[in-house]
Every structure is written in C-alpha cells, then in structure tokens.
Chain A
Amino acid sequence: MTPIAGTKPESKGPRRRATRAAWLLLTPLLVWLLLFVVIPSVALAFYSVATYAGLGEVTWTPSFEAYQKAWDSVPRVALWRSVYLALGTTVLCVIIGYPVAYFIGRAPERWRNLMLMLVMIPFWTSFIIRIYAWIIILRNEGLLNGMLQSMNLISDPLSLFPSQTAVFIGMVYSFLPFMILPIYGSVEKLDNALIEAAFDLGAGPVRAFQRIIVPLTQPGIVAGILLVFIPAVGTYAVSDVLSGRRVELIGNLIETQFRGKGGNWPYGAAMGISLLVMFVIAFWLSSIFAKSQQEQ
C-alpha cells in the first residue's frame, strides 16, 4: 500500500488553563474536603502529639508518648490481624464480586438496573442491623446450622458465632457491594466488539477473559480493591458484633480510645494517624509502580 493522508496522530488540544470559572466550580468540593477531610485530620494530628493526663484528660504538652504506645505490641498485633482479615475480604470480594458485576454489566439493558437495585437494597437498612442479622444466621441454633443439620450434613452445630470466621463472613458481606459497583462500571463500558474481535482472532473464552476483559476492566478492579481494602482494615463494628468483642482489630482499639469518658485520645489519634500515613505511603509506592509498568 502507498502511504495515505493523515499519517500524523491527532494532535492534542491545548491544555486548558485553570480559569476563574473552573475554580468557582471546584469550590463546593474544596469546601467539602476542608470541612470533612482536612480539619478532622489536622485535629487528629494535634491530639496525637498531645499528652494523656489520665481518664479522658489531655494536656497540650507536645510529646511522642502516644506514638510510642501506638507502635507497641498490642496495636501491632491488632493491625496485622486487621490487614490479614482485610486482605482475605478483598480477595474473596473480587472472586465473588467480579462474576456478579460481569453478569450484570453484560445483561440486557432492561435487566441491569433491576439487578443493580438488588445489589443496593441492603444499603437501605441500617448497617448494624444487617450485621446483627448474621448472628441469627450463624449462631449454633441459627438458620445455617439448622439447615445443615436437617439435611443431615452435620450432627453437631458448627460453632461459627462468635468467631473470627463470623467476622470474616460479615466483612465480605458488608464490603461486597463496594467491589461490585466499580467493576460493573468498567464492565458496562466494555465494547462488545472487542470481545468479538478476540474470539475472531482465535482466542477462546478463557484467553479472551485473561487478555482482553481483565485488562480492560482493571480500573474497576483497582477501584474496588481500594474501596474494600481500606475501610476493611479500619473496620470495627463487624468485629465488635460478630466476635463478641473477642477478636480485636485495629479499628476496635482506636474506637475504644474515643468511646466513653475514660478514653486515651492521644493514643487513639496516634494510631489513626499512623494508619493514615501507612496508607499514603502504600498509595504512593503503588502509583510509582503503576507508572513504571506503564512506561515499559
């Protein structure tokens, strides 16, 4: 073939300057961020370097006392337990959530909204009530054990509640929608012609999934992982209810410091800030990693 017109790529338009109008449009967001992100974080940072004066009292003498306590063995163990449970939750949410999101995203349009609705309906009930409902399902005389026993699959009830397993189940349950929704968003945008093109070029369903569908829905998977993993590390209500306060996560430890009148606020704040800093560093490292991957 002879070369034809248009061998230059489409030129990108000039970079838009941040105009006054743009700033004006950003104002609500900036105010929101200031009120609900910046101010609370700064307040927390202040408390973390204050000194605990016993029984809920704080003196404003700067010290790293609280941080020393925050990196001690008790919070460390709780943190590792939290990370471990959050990782498990994230993995299981991907395994369960991806097929669900894919199914909804590829379903005929008129069914999609209905199915999305079904995913979201639980949000209409209080989170705590839904977690309590799991007690009814998981306890020794509960629904699950009753069913398994009546089918003669087990003779003695599985002691699921209260336990770490129950916490795990509860976490997967409560974070699953946060995995499904972003993946759905990616799947729904996926052009069907691309899947057909993969088939056309000889890729069977498995290879089309690996090489085309997964890479193209990756933004949704990444968003889902962040939306599940981060709050899962900090979770405390699920472990409170489903472990009978026996499985202590970092979230529980922090929450205890702020609950009631006798709490150690600097200690709680120091743990909170430490967690925040760790996330920021993890994010930063992963974005560097992602960039270097892209450049390859």
Chain B
Amino acid sequence: MADAEYMVELREVSKRFGSFVAVNDVTLQIRKGEFLTLLGPSGCGKTTMLRMISGFETPTEGLVLLDGQDVTYTPPYKRNVNQVFQSYALFPHMTVFENVCFGLRMKGMEKPVMEEKAMKMIEMVSLKGFEQRKPSQLSGGQRQRVALARAIVNEPKVLLLDEPLAALDAKLREQMQIELKRLQKRLGMTFVFVTHDQEEALTMSDRIAVVNLGKIEQIGTTTEIYHQPRTTFVANFIGEANLLDGEVLARNGATVRLKIEKEFELTATDVNLPTDAKNVIVSIRPEKISILSTRPGGDNVFEAYVSEERFKGATDELYLETESGLTLTAVVANESATQVAFHEGDRVFCQLHPDDIVIVQDPSKA
C-alpha cells in the first residue's frame, strides 16, 4: 500500500436520514498529523461527518477513505480509528485500568505488553494511582482523561474527538485545550475534533472546517478563517464581525474603492474579488477599528459618536453610531488607567487599514 497523501478523505459524501439531509455532498481532506476541527452550530452535520469516519454511520452517497483505503462500508470495530465520546462512554463496570486495556485486549495483545502500555498511558494522562478506581469515583476532568487514554493507547491512525470538553467547566476546559494540543503535537497523531465553540477551535486547530447546513463553508488555517472569512456565516460564527453593505466604486489591481452603506467611502484590499462584482458585503472585526479623538492623517477615516460603552476589564467595547444611524462595534484595549478613555457621547474618528476590510461575499452571487 503506497503512502496516501491524506489520512482521511471524504469524497462527495452525503448522508440523509429520511428526508433530512445531514451532510450534503462534502469533500474533505485531512492531512497526516494535523489537528483539524469541524466547527459549526448544533445540527449542522459535523457530528455525522465524524461518525462516518468512525464507522457508526454509512454515507448515503460517496466514499470514506482512511489512509488511502476505502473504508466506506467497514464496520467501526475493523477501522483503525478511535473516538473520544462526548459523554466519555467509559465502561462503568470496569476500573480505569480495565477501561484503558479494553482496546488492546480486543486486539489480542499479550498480557504483560498490554499492561505495560496501559500503565504508561495512564501515567501520561496523570492518573497514576487511580488505576483501580471505577469511573463513578472520578471527577469529570479525570474521566475525560481516561477516555483519552483509552482511545490513544490503541495508537489509532486518527483520533476522533466529539465535543470532549463540553462537559467541563471553563477553567478546566482551557487547561485541557492546551494539554490536548500539546499531546497531539507530541504524538504526531491526526486529530479530528468536533466543536461548536469557535474559541476552542481557534486555540487548538491547525486547520478549521466551518460547517453549516451539512456543507463545509470554508476550510483553512485558523488565521485564514479568522482574517479572511469568505462567507457572512463564517465571519459571524468566528469571533465578532461588523457586516456592512458595500458598493464597488472603482478598482485598481487589488485595491478596491467601496461606498459603505451609501454613507462613506473606504479602500479595501482584495485580490480575489471577481471583476464584475458590484454589491458586496464587507466584514470588519471590532478590534481592527482604530479609535482616535482627533482626525488622523491618511485615508479610510470616518466619523462616529460613542452611543454606549461597556467596560470589559482588559478591553472596552464601544458601540458607535455614524451620522446616518449606521451602528458598529469596536473593541479597544485598556492599556492603562490613565489612558484617554472614550465615553458615551464622545465624538470620535475611526480609521481602518485596507487589509482589515474583508470582502466576504458578493450578494448578487449569493
């Protein structure tokens, strides 16, 4: 078997449940050793995609390839993939040690080898001393790590994680995110992670596939997804975004002159905009707006006043309103207590770098 380029491939995969289309003609390639996240709202089909990789669902159409081999109709117990379940699904009648051993035992591994591997894995997830506990005697975070150890000990080609951190509290979740990412790097294992939490996706992933309505809206690195969202859905789902209507006035190479909401003009940079694009939607991240009290030099400046101010500790969230009633959100860092702060009613000048004005979609083509 020649080395395949991708560890997992979905080729034109669809999955229908009755008349409901859960996954709609999806093609997805997951590279060896990468941390890929399927990100989307609940019911978008991301879990179904994962379950087709694990083998719990069979696609209605299309192919599933694992390391170059067609596994579309291979039952889950014959696939060299393992899953960490959302509910952890630890066997309640077995100890931590027996849980971790289960997969190796099913493979018919010799007892001394199996026990050594299991112990190593239990140590790796810092659960030494807990081997003889039953899952009911563990905390949520500990159970989570048992589930992880039970899957990884089998050295699967792909580790599938179905919202494994959803049941943990915020602090623990953050720690687990970091640990998971470290673990994945160390093992060089391919991870496919499913979540609806965009922050989690951005923290851990090499690449993110944003899923909506059974389709992949956009796939790319975390920075691509954040800085160059291609659809309004992606712009909205990942972080905050001001979405504005724009009209193309003129263009010169990658430089595009836009009329925003029929009110003021801005210059954006976009190399991929089709030449015939006229009406577009523009995404501006709140933290990309520079707020100044005096008119700065240079281009891309518009005026607004602060209609509301929300102190958020490290940042200040400002709600801006322009003369014609257009509203925008901006986020400014609270650098020091003595810094000039903006308050409700203040008149301010907003400046944008052309690269930070992202044209996400041409409405005439949507």
Q: Smallest Cβ distance from B190 to chain A, in angstroms?
A: 16
How many residues of chain A get a CB closer than 8 Å to chain B's CBs? Answer: 28
Is the Cβ of A6 less than 8 Å from the Cβ of B175? Answer: no
Q: Is A7 an interface residue (CB 8 A)?
A: yes
Which residue in A2, A204, A207 is a CB contact (below 8 Å) of B126?
A2
Is the Cβ of A10 less than 8 Å from the Cβ of B139? Answer: yes
Given contacts A2-B126, A2-B179, A6-B141, contact A194 B89 (CB under 8 A): yes
Which residue in A2, A10, A197, A207 is a CB contact (below 8 Å) of B89?
A197
Q: Is B150 an interface residue (CB 8 A)?
A: yes
Is the Cβ of A201 less than 8 Å from the Cβ of B139? Answer: no
Q: Is A14 an interface residue (CB 8 A)?
A: no
Is the Cβ of A5 less than 8 Å from the Cβ of B172? Answer: yes
Query: Nearest B residue to A6 by beta-carbon distance?
Result: B139
For B182, the chain A residues whose CB sits under 8 A away are 1
Is the Cβ of B126 less than 8 Å from the Cβ of A9? Answer: no
Q: Mark A2-21, 1 if CB is under 8 A from B, else 0.
A: 11111111100000000000
Q: Is B65 an interface residue (CB 8 A)?
A: no
For B363, the chain A residues whose CB sits under 8 A away are none
Query: Nearest B residue to A208 by beta-carbon distance?
Result: B77
Q: How far apart sit A5 and B83, CA to CA, in the bound complex (Å)?
A: 24
Q: Smallest Cβ distance from B103 to chain A, in angstroms?
A: 4
For B26, the chain A residues whose CB sits under 8 A away are none
Q: Smallest Cβ distance from A37 to chain B, in angstroms?
A: 33
Q: Mark A196-207, 1 if CB is under 8 A from B, else 0.
A: 111111111001
Is the Cβ of B56 less than 8 Å from the Cβ of A7? Answer: no
From 123 to 180 in chain B, residues with beta carbon under 8 angstroms from any chain A beta carbon are: 124-126, 133, 137-142, 145, 150-151, 154, 171-172, 175-176, 179
Is the Cβ of A1 less than 8 Å from the Cβ of B82? Answer: no
For B183, the chain A residues whose CB sits under 8 A away are 1
Q: Smallest Cβ distance from B145 to chain A, in angstroms?
A: 7
For B139, the chain A residues whose CB sits under 8 A away are 6-10
Is the Cβ of A204 less than 8 Å from the Cβ of B172? Answer: no
For B133, the chain A residues whose CB sits under 8 A away are 9
Is the Cβ of B77 less than 8 Å from the Cβ of A193? Answer: no
Q: Is A115 an interface residue (CB 8 A)?
A: no
Is the Cβ of B91 less than 8 Å from the Cβ of A197? Answer: yes
Is the Cβ of B142 less than 8 Å from the Cβ of A6? Answer: yes
Is the Cβ of A9 less than 8 Å from the Cβ of B137? Answer: yes
Which residue in B54, B56, B126, B172 is a CB contact (below 8 Å) of A1?
B126
Q: Is B242 an interface residue (CB 8 A)?
A: no
Is the Cβ of A200 less than 8 Å from the Cβ of B93? Answer: no
Is the Cβ of B103 less than 8 Å from the Cβ of A216? Answer: no
Q: Mark B179-195, 1 if CB is under 8 A from A, else 0.
A: 10011000000000000
Q: Smallest Cβ distance from B171 to chain A, in angstroms?
A: 7
For B125, the chain A residues whose CB sits under 8 A away are 1
For A191, the chain B residues whose CB sits under 8 A away are 87, 89
Is the Cβ of A5 less than 8 Å from the Cβ of B175? Answer: yes
Given contacts A6-B141, A215-B93, contact A201 B56 (CB under 8 A): no
Is the Cβ of A6 less than 8 Å from the Cβ of B140? Answer: yes
Q: Smallest Cβ distance from B94 to chain A, in angstroms?
A: 9
Q: Is A116 an interface residue (CB 8 A)?
A: no
For A202, the chain B residues whose CB sits under 8 A away are 77-78, 103, 106-107, 154
Q: Is A212 an interface residue (CB 8 A)?
A: yes
Is the Cβ of A4 less than 8 Å from the Cβ of B89? Answer: no
Is the Cβ of B77 less than 8 Å from the Cβ of A216? Answer: no
Is the Cβ of B89 less than 8 Å from the Cβ of A196? Answer: yes
Selected A-B contacts with CB under 8 Å, 6 pairs: A199-B76, A200-B81, A200-B151, A201-B151, A212-B91, A215-B93
Which 10 pairs, one residue from A and one from B, show the smallest C-beta to C-beta distance? A202-B106, A201-B103, A193-B89, A197-B89, A6-B139, A199-B76, A3-B126, A9-B137, A6-B141, A199-B77
Given contacts A197-B91, A201-B102, A202-B107, 17 further A-B contacts (CB under 8 A): A2-B126, A4-B141, A4-B172, A6-B141, A7-B139, A191-B87, A193-B86, A193-B87, A194-B91, A196-B56, A197-B89, A198-B77, A199-B56, A200-B81, A201-B103, A203-B77, A208-B77
Report B's interface with A, CB cutoff 8 A: 54-56, 75-78, 81-83, 85-87, 89-93, 102-103, 106-107, 124-126, 133, 137-142, 145, 150-151, 154, 171-172, 175-176, 179, 182-183
